[in-house]
Chain A
Amino acid sequence: MELVLSEDQELIAKTARDFVAERAPLSRTRELRDAGEEGAGFSDSLWKEMAEMGWVGISLPESVGGGGMGYAEMVLVMEALGRTLAPEPFLAAVLSGEALSLGGDAAQQEKWLTPLAAGESLVSLAFEEAGARWNRQHVATRAEASGEGFRIRGEKIGVLDGHAAEAFVVSARTSGDVQDAGGIDLFVVPADAPGVSRQRQIRVDSRGSALVSFDVEVPGEARIGGGGTGGELLDRVLDRATVALCGEMLGGMQQALEMTLDYMKEREQFGVRIGSFQALKHRAARLFIDVELARSTVMAAARAVDEGVGEAAALVSLAKAQCSEAYVHVADEAVQIYGGVGMTDEYDIGFFMKRARAAELTFGDGTWHRDRWARCSGY
């Protein structure tokens, strides 16, 4: 594994950064937030454009219209998006896309994955449940054999961009108890199927998510994979989505740090620029260290997932723990260094504090990932 960008990757990063700066600036993110529930939370037309640029399916196989690249490239796009907190539903697309890509059959991929990669139809992954925290095996939703298919009953929470999805990939238990490792399967369920209902959630970071309840009959071909192996599939899917999220977090923390440095070079108090105060300089230098370490871990985790190495799970947890703590640290310090204006809604820096916290608490926080690292390391 080489922790350096190739020329092609440099180009992807630059293209993404330029496009996002021009077409998806932070001011647009604010407008989408201000539109509230009356808007979709993101721009459908921009989402399609991003898909046309190959970003949505960048790590999916070319056979389904993807870019045939990997997470080393995906995190570059996510980093660019993270800089302006662009709320387009990339995480939802990675989650459901990988579930369909890694576990789906040709018919399922043709029906759901190809339109997803093309930005034409959004599919969300409904896997979290109340009380599960980040336990990936906690599935109370049941799928019972019914006629030729299954009847799925259960409630899912925090379904990313579930308010805008045309279908859900839902985890449900075909056997076993609530926290058993085995006995979990994934099913594709159209959002308009009778017995599916959803409620949009309003989050602190103004990203879209939904509560979705299922009491629905699905045909046998709705099942992805089978034989109760959905838990393992979910694990692989969540690791990939975690890497993508880490890419976004890296962009967010880098941007928040740069904004804060700019502010320190402008803002004057006591007749001098506040960036000349050693008490602030040292803190800024500490943030720089946090971000640099985070960057190394994200590059390593992305490459480990792409190369399928044995230590990939541990490296993903390393990246998520490092990014969680670094992003929150940068955002907290940024608001403190901005001072009073940092607390106002008018200034953008607060957006990063909200997103840092939300991202920290998505797919496992630092503590959770340290515990996972310890398990991977045998202690």
Chain B
Amino acid sequence: MPDLETFRSETRAWLQANAPASLVGVPASELEGVWGGRKWKFSSPDLKTWLDVMADKGWTAPDWPSEYGGGGLSTEECKVLRQEMAALKLPPPLIGFGLSMIGPMLVRYGTEAQKQEHLPKICRGEIRWCQGYSEPGAGSDLASLQTRAERDGEEFLINGQKIWTSYADESDWIFALVRTDTEVKKQEGITFILIDMDDPGVSVRPILLISGKSPFCETFFDDVRVPVSNVISEINNGWTVAKALLGHERSMIAGAFGGGAPSDKKSGSRLAEMARHYLGEEGERIADPVARDKVAGLEMATKAFGLTVQRSRDAAKAGHQPGPESSLFKIFATELNQQRHELMVQLMGPQGLGWEGPGFEEDEMDLTREWLRSRGNTIEGGTSEVQLNIIAKHVLGLPD
């Protein structure tokens, strides 16, 4: 395709000309991701420059329509852009739930006015979004949520509490599920609505996790007035939007834990390196055969998972319907991440016990906290038990 090759060379030239030199060739892990929003403080001016030039080009959301601030690129062109950015080791100019979650829902379900209002601000990193789904009484049974939205003319009066709202304390807007009808089946009385966090009556309290830090908050709504025009899709049709977004979220979580691009070589060397460091080596090998078996077992499971993700993608590329294999991604990816962190703490032995202070390396204490944090992976985004129910019912056809 000559057009695509032209696009590639133009893209490369543009990136080389416009990307700040300080950001070229730096591994993503060493750079802080830019989440944007009114409260965002850029850690370097170059990160702001990078966001601005990319947003001007529409390339913070390259596949969104250009009239709303996106790049209007085709799937193939997006791939080329990703490849060229990867070749220069450039970080994404902007990340967050606006781009990854509410944006795609607005593109799909939003009214023209909603798209015009919100999408350009997401693309420019001006507004940061968070998600208000779970409630203290509605975890796995999400549809039992109780946050009330009562109609008052052209407004809703919203009262209730959300929990596990990641980064609510740093966000500007929240997309939330609220109850608009209590007389019908619980899924049919839910509405998907957008709320400005600056509105009177919205308050936020961070939650401290067992790992000692956390992005999570509780978010309270106390007589918050929200225009009816902020409803996404129809009133009482929020469950449909929520399910679409949840499916999206699960695949994102799976991607974040190794489903994306399996780089087993690199992470494999990390576990093996740790085993050699803490348990000694014999020749090139991990001295302790039990630890060696565990390291190999985990790396092999990681590879098997990566191959399964690849199989799913290859089948999609070949034009097949998504197979049943994709239903296992969330469960397996999160459990794998837990096992990996658990093994790392075990390999550290007594050095895995640090919380703060002397006697422990920073890396060691970070890993211990990451292990604790990883225990939440099989709970958030739909517990493993809920996922197993889904497989049992929808894939295996087992009776209720």
Contacts and interface: CB of A to CB of B under 8 A. Distances in A.
Interface of A: 2-4, 261, 264-265, 272-273, 275-276, 278, 281-282, 284-286, 288-289, 292-297, 299-300, 317-318, 321-322, 367, 370-371, 373-375, 377-379
B295 A296 contact: no
B128 interface: no
Interface string B270-282: 0010011000000
Given A296-B325, A299-B307, A370-B293, 6 more contacts: A4-B315, A289-B331, A296-B307, A374-B286, A379-B275, A379-B285
A374 B398 contact: no
Interface in B302-324: 303-305, 307-308, 310-311, 314-315, 317-318, 320, 324
Contacts of B385: 282
5 contacts: A265-B397, A275-B398, A318-B303, A370-B300, A379-B276
Contacts of A370: 293, 296-297, 300
B395 interface: yes
B396 interface: yes
A33 to B, nearest CB: 30
A145 to B, nearest CB: 36
A300 B392 CA distance: 27
B307 A288 contact: no
A326 to B, nearest CB: 10
B398 to A, nearest CB: 4
Nearest to A260: B396
A261 B397 contact: yes
A371 B325 CA distance: 28
B154 interface: no
Contacts of A273: 399
A284 B393 CA distance: 11
B112 interface: no
Nearest to B271: A379
Contacts of A373: 296, 299-300
A318 B302 CA distance: 11
A276 B400 contact: yes
B391 interface: yes
A313 to B, nearest CB: 13
Contact of A264 (B304, B315, B398): B398
Contact of B307 (A286, A300, A378, A379): A300
Contacts of B391: 285, 288-289
A285 B301 CA distance: 17
A193 B168 CA distance: 82
A281 B398 CA distance: 7
B328 interface: yes
Interface string B137-156: 00000000000000000000
A293 B292 contact: no
A263 to B, nearest CB: 11
B225 to A, nearest CB: 43
Contacts of A378: 272, 284
B388 interface: yes
A292 B328 contact: yes
B388 A285 contact: yes
B332 interface: yes
A292 B320 CA distance: 17
Given A282-B388, A296-B310, A322 B396 contact: no
Nearest to B392: A281
A358 B28 CA distance: 47
A293 B324 CA distance: 12
A377 B272 CA distance: 9
A379 B286 CA distance: 6
B390 to A, nearest CB: 8
Contact of A293 (B276, B299, B308, B388): B308
Contacts of B392: 281-282, 284-285
B330 to A, nearest CB: 11
B388 A286 contact: yes
A299 B306 CA distance: 13
B389 A281 contact: yes
B268 interface: yes
Interface in B7-35: none
A367 B293 contact: yes
Given A284-B398, A318-B304, A379-B275, A3 B299 contact: no
Contacts of B320: 4
A377 B388 contact: no
A278 B389 contact: yes
B395 A379 contact: no
A296 to B, nearest CB: 4
A379 B292 contact: yes
Contacts of B400: 276
Nearest to A322: B304
Contacts of B289: 371
B300 A318 contact: yes
Contacts of B285: 374-375, 379
Given A3-B311, A296-B304, A281 B388 contact: yes
Contact of B398 (A4, A265, A286, A377): A265
Contacts of B275: 379
Contacts of B315: 3-4
Given A3-B311, A278-B389, A284 B284 contact: no
A2 B399 contact: no
A281 B399 CA distance: 9
Contacts of B292: 371, 374, 379
Interface string B217-257: 00000000000000000000000000000000000000000
